A = this chain, B = another copy of it.
Amino acid sequence: MKNFTSIEDVPNPKGLIQDVINLIDQSNHSTIGKEKTLGMVFFNPSLRTRLSTQKAAQNLGMEVIVLNIDKDAWNVEFEDGTTMDGDSQEHIRDAVKVISSYCDLLAVRTFASLTNRQQDYEERELQNFLKHSSVPVISMESATLHPLQSLTDMATIVHTNIPKPKVVLSWAPHPKPLPQAVANSFLEWVTELQAEVVVAHPKGYELSEKFAAGYKVTHNQQEAFKNADIIYAKNWSSYSDYGARPAVEENWTITSELMQKTNQAQFMHCLPIRRNVVATDAVIDDSLVYQQAKNREYAAQAVIKNLLEVL
C-alpha cells in the first residue's frame, strides 16, 4: 500500500479489515515507528480523527507533528499558475513539498466546498497532496471520501459477528448542509462484507452514481428498517443540486419506535451527532457509536503500520 485515500489504494481490503479486528480484540504497541515522524495537517476542525490518528501513531512509536494549517501557518493558494498578489501567502505545492520533507508519513484532512461539485469530486486539495508529497499520504477525510471512518465501520460491523447482516445506510436530518463523504466511502467499502445493503434517503438526496450504483435504494425509511441488523445513520446534502437541502416531508429522525421495526439492529454513526435531530438520545445511548469511535484508533494504527512496513 502506497497511500491510503480510498479503498482503491488498498490491495487487500479484507486483510486490512482483519488487522483492525485483531487490534480491537487485542490492542498492542510496537516500535516499528521509532525515529519516524507522522505529520498531521488540518484544514478544518477535528476531534476523533485528530486524537485517534495521533494515538495510533504513538502506539507504533512514532513522533507526531500537528499543523493546523489554517491557524498556525499561512493562507494556502490552490490554483496553479496564478499571480499570488492577493491574500494567499503560500502555494499548496510548496507547502506540501516542504511539509512532507520533514515527515515519513503525511496525514491530511481536507474539506468539501459544497458549492463547486466538480472541484470537490476531483479532490483538488487531496490530489495536490498526492502529487507533491514525497512520502505516503493518509486521508483523514477528504471532500468526497473518509476511508479511515469506513475501514473502522467495516471492522466494527464484522466484529458484531452477525452472519450476513442486513445493513441499512439511512439518511437522517441535520440543521446544516454536510458533505457526502462518509456515505460515499461507506458504499465503497461495504462491498467487502457478506451483507445485504439498502440505502434509504428522501427524494433529492441521491448519492453520486459512482458510489450508489448497484445498491438497492429506497425512499421509504420504515420499509428499509424492516429486519435490519445494522442501522448506519448519516446526514448528507444533495449531490444533484449540489450542497442544497431539499425539503423533506416525513420525519427521518431515528427513534426507538423506528428501531423496533428492525431485527434488534445495532445503531451506528460516525460522530459528532446532533442528538434528537439525527437520532434520539435513547437510540444513541444504546448503540455502537462509542465502540466505533474507539475503533478509529485501531483502524489508523493498522493503516499506519501497513504503510510503515513498505517505507
Binding site for B on A (CB under 8 A): 29, 35, 37, 39, 42, 45-48, 50-52, 54-55, 58-59, 63, 65, 67-69, 71-74, 77, 80-86, 89-91, 94-95, 97-99, 101-102, 175, 271-277, 281, 284, 289-290, 293-294, 297
Contacts and interface: CB of A to CB of B under 8 A. Distances in A.
A114 to B, nearest CB: 16
A91 B35 contact: no
Contacts of A59: 35
Contacts of A73: 45-47, 50
A59 B104 CA distance: 13
Contacts of A80: 281
Contacts of A86: 175
A272 B74 contact: yes
Contacts of A271: 90, 94, 98
A207 B278 CA distance: 44
What number of copies of this chain does the assembly contain?
A: 3
A72 B84 contact: no
Contacts of A89: 272, 274
B272 A90 contact: yes
A50 B37 contact: no
A253 to B, nearest CB: 9
Given A47-B90, A89-B272, A101-B297, 13 more contacts: A45-B71, A45-B74, A47-B69, A47-B72, A85-B175, A85-B274, A86-B175, A91-B273, A94-B271, A94-B272, A94-B289, A95-B272, A101-B290
